[in-house]
Amino acid sequence: MESHPPRVPHYIFVSQEAAERYAKDTDGGFYDLLEAETYWRDRYAFLQESGYVLRPRYRPGWKPSWTGTNRDPMFCEDSIIIPIPHIIDATRQADGRVVTIKSTRNDSREISIARHLSQIHQPENHAVPILDVFTDPFDATLSLLVMPYLRPFNDPEFCTIGEVMDFVRQTLEGLSFLHKQRVAHRDIGAANVMMDGRALYPEGHHPVRRKWSTDAIHELRPLSRTNCAVRYYFIDFGLSRMFEEGESTLVLGRTGRDKQIPELSSDVPYDAYRADVFALGNLYYKELVSKYHGLEVIQPLINMMKWKVPAQRPTAEAAERIFDSMYSRTDESMLRWRLRSREESTSERVVYDTVAVAREGIYQLKRLIS
């Protein structure tokens, strides 16, 4: 059996009995590629020739790295499967950047809209960039879209009011930009707003087991968003609509993640832009205000964005201006104040508030000294 290498944590090793059990499970196919994973294994060579390398698990002829050792498969990187069948992570050979590759149908609007938006290089553009597009080597009805690797916008969690305000600012800016480009997203929800969080993990992290190191051995502690600039993106334009100049923005359909948009209908046309505004406001309500104390400053804006009557809602551009006005009047010390979870106990609040006060004191002292 394998001896323990230096500087490797003891918890990745198991007893002889457990190792034999894992070996039996491995031989029995427990860790074999899933059917959806074989799709990517079969495209490994094509993607490598195109400049992108999949993780070792998807290399043709892959053998589990823990075979013949006393390592726990949980702490072996090649035991980790992809969570979404048609999406996989890869590494760009040119610079080592981690990317996401998505398999999608050629007749989807996603490709044309996303490529169009990718050609507009403006800071207000928060549409996920398309780095490459390949025709699937085995199915001409499919394309492989290569995009930057992103993580959920709320992972890791927000820590300060200022971090939330930056998220709201960027997403309003991004939605206003989309509408100026005559694009309605039509599928805004928590799963379709993501973050480039590379600055939070300077040494990288595993693309699937996001809180762990790239080798899946060490649990990581991210840096603070307050001290590291992150950028948020809208993704998944599969249900989006790009309008011609002067074309009506009225649409039909109940598609999209947010089923609470009151005007959704398959029979009565509704304005796609105003529906986007509701969906983004609803995201702020469900993912921010409902989970944290201290965000009352954005509640009036959320109320406006969620008006039941679409015509009474502000446009995305107007909502952005309203927010900018609110933001400019917000005290700097308030932005640095910690977010308090609505599930936090009284004792936890006392401890965390004490720490927050101490940190603010240190911040002010450093300002005086400098």
At 248-292, the pLDDT tens digits run 999 999 989 999 999 999 999 999 999 999 999 999 999 999 999
Residues contacting residue 253 through CB under 8 Å, at least 6 positions apart: 186, 264, 266
| pLDDT of the residue at 370 | 58
| pLDDT of the residue at 297 | 94
In CATH, 151-337 is 1.10.510.10: yes
Cα 279 to Cα 52, 154, 188, distances in angstroms: 35, 17, 6
Query: 111-136 burial, b if ≥16 CB within 10 A, otherwise e?
Result: bebbeebbeeeeeebbbbebbebbeb
Beta bridge mates, 292? 341
Amino acid at 288: L
At CA 106, angle to CA 103 and CA 110, rounded to 5? 75
Cα 123 to Cα 172, 215, 230, 232, 287, distances in angstroms: 13, 34, 13, 11, 25
In CATH, 10-148 is 3.30.200.20: yes
| pLDDT of the residue at 108 | 86
Three-class secondary structure of residue 335 per DSSP: helix
Per-residue pLDDT of the chain (370 residues; tens, 9 = 90+): 454 544 789 999 999 999 999 999 999 999 999 999 999 999 999 999 999 999 999 999 999 999 999 999 999 999 999 999 999 999 999 999 999 999 999 988 999 999 999 999 999 999 999 999 999 999 999 999 999 999 999 999 999 999 999 999 999 999 999 999 999 999 999 999 999 999 999 999 999 999 999 999 999 999 999 999 999 999 999 999 999 999 999 999 998 999 999 999 999 999 999 999 999 999 999 999 999 999 999 999 999 999 999 999 999 999 999 999 999 999 988 899 999 998 765 555 544 454 444 454 544 445 556 5
Give me the sign of the Cα torsion angle 263, 267, 272, 276. positive
Tell me whether strands 265-271 and 292-293 are parallel, antiparallel or unpaired: unpaired
Tell me how crowded residue 158 is: count the other CB atoms within 10 A of its CB.
22
| pLDDT of the residue at 369 | 62
| pLDDT of the residue at 192 | 98
Beta bridge mates, 146? 101, 132
Amino acid at 141: T
Instruction: Count helices and strands (H / E) in the chain.
Output: 10, 14
Cβ proximity of 166 and 156 under 8 Å: no
What is the average pLDDT score of the chain? 92
**Domain spans of the chain?**
10-148, 151-337
Q: What is the pLDDT of residues 13-28, one digit of tens each?
A: 999 999 999 999 999 9
At CA 49, angle to CA 45 and CA 51, rounded to 5? 115
Backbone phi, psi, residue 287, to 5°: -95, -15
Residues belonging to the chain: 370
Q: Is the peptide bond before 83 cis (omega within 30 degrees of 0)?
A: no
Smallest Cα–Cα separation from 200: which of 169, 166, 155? 155
Residues contacting residue 323 through CB under 8 Å, at least 6 positions apart: 168, 169, 172, 298, 301
**Two tokens, residue 335:** 């932005």
| pLDDT of the residue at 347 | 53
Query: 286-295 burial, b if ≥16 CB within 10 A, otherwise e?
Result: ebbbebbeeb
